[in-house]
Amino acid sequence: MENRKSELIEEIKKNAKEISYPLIAIIISFIAGGFLIYAFGKSPMVAYKSLIQGSLGDWNKFGETLVVVTPLILTGLSVAFAYKCGLFNIGAEGQFIIGSISAVWAGWAFNGLPPVLHVFLTLAVGAAAGGIWAGIVGWLKAKVGSHEVINSIMMNYIALNVSNYLTMTFLNEEAKAFTHEIAQSAKLWRFAEAFAQFKYSRLNIGIFIALAAALIAYYILNKTVRGYEIRAVGYNPHASEYGGISIAKNIVLTMVISGMFSGLAGAIQIAGVQYRANNLFGFTGYGFDGISVALVGNNHPIGIVLSGLLFGILQKGGSNMQLNGIPKEVVGIIQGIIILFVAANFVRIVFDKIKENRHLKQKTIREGK
């Protein structure tokens, strides 16, 4: 019991340290962003105030922020999960789109099912479609060794065009550039139905599904044999193969699971937020943002939930900044700086340097004596 407790404290300490580095990087990024806003001739105070007000100002805004956060967490998990196996899934975007359009189909075609079953089916179809989409990339990597980065980028374009084709033909709403609306029974429950505070936000239980997905990802990776194998392949494929772990099998499986997270994100976006898919002019950006979310979240499920929240606040609050005359690009710049600082591991390097210096100094003092 005592042992368990100290173990837990140790774990928390370790995690706190892990979190502190990106946290400091984020604070520095905001300060740097402040300089930039100042350089544009605007007040950083006004900018950041409107950022917070626009994203957390009232319940509806908070709800809308969580609407943005939901897919970001899921695509972030998707990228991170693949990363644990040493794979770089740039295809989260395509898996998201395929998940969306498949969810539209399931939500529209199976009209008449009982609500709970229909919602479940819609999400499952979306997740499965994303899984298959990513699985193709994984299979190609495992079988012929073609690089997953190239293939998943290509698959993004295929997904975009397939989705647009289906939107304009098979699923098309007469005379419109979007699809049919999904059936009432396929829609996710919205907070607006029970809480007056969220009346004008599209917040739905998708956010809980995303949080559950984060727990599931954590569980699979850290508490199961399969997760151990996946991580082993990620650390050192040759050593794990020597140890009897199949590289090919784990690569395909990882990609499928990774794709399922993105596909689920797309399905939730349909079943909970949009109820239909539009003819896309370009990528939605959720998949690409997922890469940043995973990076800032240090590829850790809990970190991803937090960094998803951060990116959601930035994106939602960013539109409010525009209303106060701050160019919309500023938010992108701050995001970029955050990623730059986190990715370069700038804070850790500086801290380690300081520590090393102190150590050296002490050593010289001791030796001098």
Q: In the complex, which residues of this chain contact other proteins (CB under 8 A)?
A: 31, 34-35, 38, 43-46, 54, 60-61, 64, 67, 164, 168, 174-178, 199-202, 269, 273-274, 278-282, 284-285, 315-316, 319-320, 322-323, 328, 350, 353-354, 357-358
Shortest spacing between CB 43 and other proteins, in angstroms: 5
Give min distance, CB of 358 to other proteins, in A.
7
Contacts of residue 322, Cβ cutoff 8 Å, sequence gap at least 6: 328
Nearer to other proteins, 89 or 315 (CB): 315
Q: Phi/psi of residue 224, each to 5°?
A: -120, 160
Q: Residue 253: CB partners within 8 Å, gap ≥ 6? A: 138, 226, 230
Specify the residue, 104 or 247, whose C-beta has the smaller distance to other proteins: 104
Element of type H or E holding 330: helix 329-343
Q: Which stretch of DSSP H or E encloses residue 122?
A: helix 115-144
CB of 275 to other proteins, least distance (A): 9
Cα 60 versus chain centre, distance: 22
By C-beta, is 54 or 126 nearer to other proteins?
Answer: 54
Residue 361 CA to chain centroid, in angstroms? Answer: 43
Burial of 354 (0-12, 13-18, 19+ CB in 10 A): exposed
Alpha carbons 45 and 37: distance in angstroms, whole number: 9
Q: Least distance (Å) from other proteins to the CB of residue 30?
A: 11
Q: Kindly provide the b/e burial profile for residues 39-56, where b requires at least 16 CB atoms within 10 angstroms of the residue's own CB.
A: ebebebeebbbbbeebbe
Q: Choose between 55 and 254: whose C-beta lies nearer to other proteins.
A: 55
For other proteins, the closer of residues 237 and 285 by Cβ is 285
- In the complex, least distance from residue 332 CB atom to other proteins, rounded to whole angstroms: 9
Measured distance CA(178)–CA(176) in Å, rounded: 5
State which residue, 246 or 319, has the beta carbon closest to other proteins.
319
CB of 92 to other proteins, least distance (A): 15
